[in-house]
C-alpha cells in the first residue's frame, strides 16, 4: 500500500514536471521577447523608409513630390516642358502673395529662383524686394520633353517673402510651366491644387 502510494506520487511528480516544462516552452514560443538586436534592425528600417517616403500629387500635367523633416520642405517637381516649371505656395488670390519657386534647365545647368507674387498676375525675385533666395539643394534635369527640378526650402526661413510652413498643414498650391528657359515669360499651362498634409 505504502509502496503503491510512493510510486503514484513519483509518477504524478514526473507528469507534472513534464507538463510545466511543456507549458513553459509554449509560452516562450508564443510571445518571444524582442532582443536588443531585433530592436536595432527595426529602427534602421524605419530610418531607411523615411529617406524614400515622398508624398505625391498629380495635378493635370504637373507632378509634385514632397516630404518634410524638422527644418525643410523637400520638393521634386516635373512638367512636360523644355522651358520653365514652377510651384507657388499659398497665394491669397490668383498669383498674389504666393511663395514661388521657378526653375529651368538650359545647357545642362539648372536655374532655380525664389520669387514672390507681388500682384495677382505677376511675380518678382525675393532679392529684388529686399528678401533672400532661400532655396537650397537646387538640382534638375531635362529629358524626353520633361523638365524636373528638385530643391528644399526652410519651413521658416524668416524671410517675409516666404511662407511659414507647418508639417501636416493644408496649403493651396499653384503650378505653371512655360516654353522658354527664363523666369519672365507667360505660362503655357497653369493649374491649382490643395495639399492636405504637407
Ligand atoms: C512668368 C511670369 C508669369 C506671368 C507673366 C503670369 C501672368 C499671369 C496672368 C496675366 C494671369 C491672368 C490671366 C490668366 O489666367 O492667364 C495669370 C494667372 C495665373 N497664373 Fe500666372 N503668370 C506668371 C507666372 C506664374 C507662375 C510661376 C505660376 C505658378 C507657379 C502662375 C500661376 C497662375 C495661376 C494659377 C493663374 C490663374 C489664377 C486664377 O485664375 O485664380 N503664374 N498669370
Q: Which H or E run includes 183? A: none
Task: Give the homologous superfamily in CATH for domain 53-195.
Answer: Cellobiose dehydrogenase, cytochrome domain (2.60.40.1210)
With a 6 A CB cut-off, is 179 part of the ligand 1 pocket? no
**What pLDDT was estimated at residue 48?**
57
Which residue's CA lies nearest to atom 38 of ligand 1? 94
CA of 142 to the centre of ligand 1 (A): 23
Stated pTM of the model: 0.79
190 lines ligand 1 (CB under 6 A): yes
Q: Is the CB of 155 under 6 A from ligand 1?
A: no
- Take residue 33 and report the three cell numbers written for it: 521577447
Residue whose CA lies nearest to ligand 1 atom number 18 = 121
* Site to substitute for ligand 1 among 62, 81, 95, 118, most atoms within 8 A of C-beta: 95
- Break the chain into its structural domains and give their ranges: 53-195
Give the range among 32-41, 79-88, 89-98, 115-124 with minimum mean pLDDT: 32-41
Three cell numbers written together for 117? 507674387
Q: List strand residue ranges (DSSP E) for the chain, in order.
A: 55-59, 62-68, 72-79, 85-89, 99-106, 109-119, 122-125, 136-143, 146-154, 171-177, 189-195
Ligand 1 in reach of 87 Cβ (< 6 A): yes
Tell me how far the alpha carbon of residue 104 lies from the centroid of ligand 1, in angstroms.
17
Q: How far is the CA of 123 from the centre of ligand 1 (A)?
A: 9
Cβ of 173 below 6 Å from ligand 1: no
Using alpha carbons, select from 141, 81, 87 the residue that is nearest to residue 111. 141
Asked if the model's pLDDT at residue 37 lies above 90, the reply is no
Which cell numbers hold the place of 95? 498669383
Closest CA to 115 of 148, 88, 145, 93: 88
Is 163 a pocket residue for ligand 1 (Cβ < 6 Å)? no
Instruction: Check whether 150 has a pLDDT greater than 60.
Output: yes
**With bands split at pLDDT 50, 70 and 90, how would you rate the model's confidence at 123?**
very high
- Of 161, 190, 172, which Cα lies nearest the Cα of 91? 172
> 129-164: buried (b, 16+ CB within 10 Å) or exposed (e) per residue?
eebebbbeebebebeeeebbbbbbbbbebebebbbe
Ligand 1 centroid vs 146 CA: distance in angstroms?
20
Average pLDDT, the chain: 83
Secondary structure (3-state) at 125 = strand
Mutation pick for ligand 1 pocket among 190, 191, 194 (CB with most ligand atoms within 8 Å):
190
pLDDT at position 42 = 57
Question: Does the pLDDT at position 14 exceed 80?
Answer: no
Amino acid at each position: 500500500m505504502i509502496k503503491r502510494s510512493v510510486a503514484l506520487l513519483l509518477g504524478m511528480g514526473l507528469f507534472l514536471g513534464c507538463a510545466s516544462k511543456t507549458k513553459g516552452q509554449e509560452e516562450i514560443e508564443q510571445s518571444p521577447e524582442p532582443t536588443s538586436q531585433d530592436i536595432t534592425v527595426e529602427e534602421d528600417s524605419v530610418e531607411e523608409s523615411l529617406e524614400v517616403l515622398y508624398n505625391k500629387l498629380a495635378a493635370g500635367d504637373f507632378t509634385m513630390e514632397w516630404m518634410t523633416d524638422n527644418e525643410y520642405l523637400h520638393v521634386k517637381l516635373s512638367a512636360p516642358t523644355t522651358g520653365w516649371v514652377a510651384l507657388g505656395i499659398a497665394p491669397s488670390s490668383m498669383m498674389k502673395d504666393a511663395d514661388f519657386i521657378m526653375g529651368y534647365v538650359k545647357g545642362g545647368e539648372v536655374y532655380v529662383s525664389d520669387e514672390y507674387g507681388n500682384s495677382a498676375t505677376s511675380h518678382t525675385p525675393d532679392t529684388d524686394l529686399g528678401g533672400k533666395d532661400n532655396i537650397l539643394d537646387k538640382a534638375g534635369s531635362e529629358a524626353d520633353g520633361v523638365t524636373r527640378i528638385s530643391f528644399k526650402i526652410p519651413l521658416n526661413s524668416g524671410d517675409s517673402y516666404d511662407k511659414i510652413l507647418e508639417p501636416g498643414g493644408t496649403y493651396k498650391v499653384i503650378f505653371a510651366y512655360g516654353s522658354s528657359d527664363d523666369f519672365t515669360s507667360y505660362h503655357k499651362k497653369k493649374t491649382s491644387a490643395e495639399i492636405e498634409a504637407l
